[in-house]
Amino acid sequence: MNISFVVIEYHCLKEIRQCLASLRSHAGKLSVEIIISSNSAYPIETQDQIKKEFSQTRWMFNAENGGFAYAMNRGIEKASGEVVVLLNPDVRLLSDIEPAYRFLLACPEIAVLGPRILNRDGEIQDSARRFMTPWGLAKRLLTRLLQKREVLLEKNFDYNLGQPVDWVIGAFMLIKKSALGKVGMLDEKYFLYVEDMDWCKRFWYNGFQVFYFPDLAVEYEGSRQSTAFLLGEKNPNHFAFLHLKSYFRFVCKHRYFFKKSSNAIT
């Protein structure tokens, strides 16, 4: 098996239908499997209906909503592909994935690859980022608040150039499965947010690179529920609390209180 797509699902069957059509139309000649890891806790009758409708897709119905890392790990455990692709259900592939797959396998030093991510209007998204210290996070949030901007692109970073980066967002990630024996799975102590940054940090710790690959393009809008209140859209919410809680777990776990030499983005 070449690629195992692992898609998280939480009460979003309409998005799943659109996502699956996108994956199948851009798989090229690769052999692929699609695994849906559902945290929706559907009743048995609903599960049976879903499996019947999506008969060519492998469904995993988790007993509870254990969070993003929990659901993805359940899917990864069942994946048989050389490359595992983790993605959100509202992602749409815009180009064939085979070149990215070939590139990843041809580079022994690279274990994680992230694509160019565009929103529905074709605008580039900040999907490749630096590891953030607490001061860096505060500065980022303040900039978003003052400038009323959701997307903050990295300065001095060419989004048209493939290059190593600190981390790529978990909305769409290609992972070389052979590297997981050394690095391990996603940390399930993160319920939501920052588990992708943590994972990329651990890949770097274990001698692997994380790479930004703009030749692969995907569409992803992202709800940004945890930061929407900064732009005056809503009051501070549960998602904001989860994001901050996860971030400070990252800081304490990796002792990332002060800026250290960056692995990639400068």
Domain boundaries, the chain: 3-133+152-223
Buried b (16+ CB within 10 A) or exposed e, 158-197: ebeebebbbbbbbbbbbbbbebbeebeebbbebbbbbbbb
Packing angle between helix 134-147 and helix 238-254, nearest 10 degrees?
150
> How many Cβ atoms from other residues are within 10 Å of residue 203's Cβ?
23
Packing angle between helix 195-205 and helix 238-254, nearest 10 degrees?
20
Cα 186 from Cα 86, distance rounded (Å): 11
Q: Are strands 209-219 and 167-168 parallel, antiparallel or unpaired?
A: unpaired
Phi-psi region of 28 (alpha: psi -120 to 50; beta: other; left: phi over 0): left
In contact, 30 and 97? CB cutoff 8 Å: yes
pLDDT in tens, the chain (266 residues): 999 999 999 999 999 999 999 999 999 999 999 999 999 999 999 999 999 999 999 999 999 999 999 999 999 999 999 999 999 999 999 999 999 999 999 999 999 999 999 999 999 999 999 998 898 888 888 887 777 777 889 888 999 999 999 999 999 999 999 999 999 999 999 999 999 999 999 999 999 999 999 999 999 986 555 454 444 455 556 788 888 899 999 999 999 887 654 455 44
What topology does CATH give the domain 3-133+152-223? Spore Coat Polysaccharide Biosynthesis Protein SpsA; Chain A (3.90.550)
Would you state the pLDDT for residue 260?
57
Cα 82 from Cα 262, distance rounded (Å): 29
pTM over 0.85: yes
Cα 183 from Cα 153, distance rounded (Å): 29
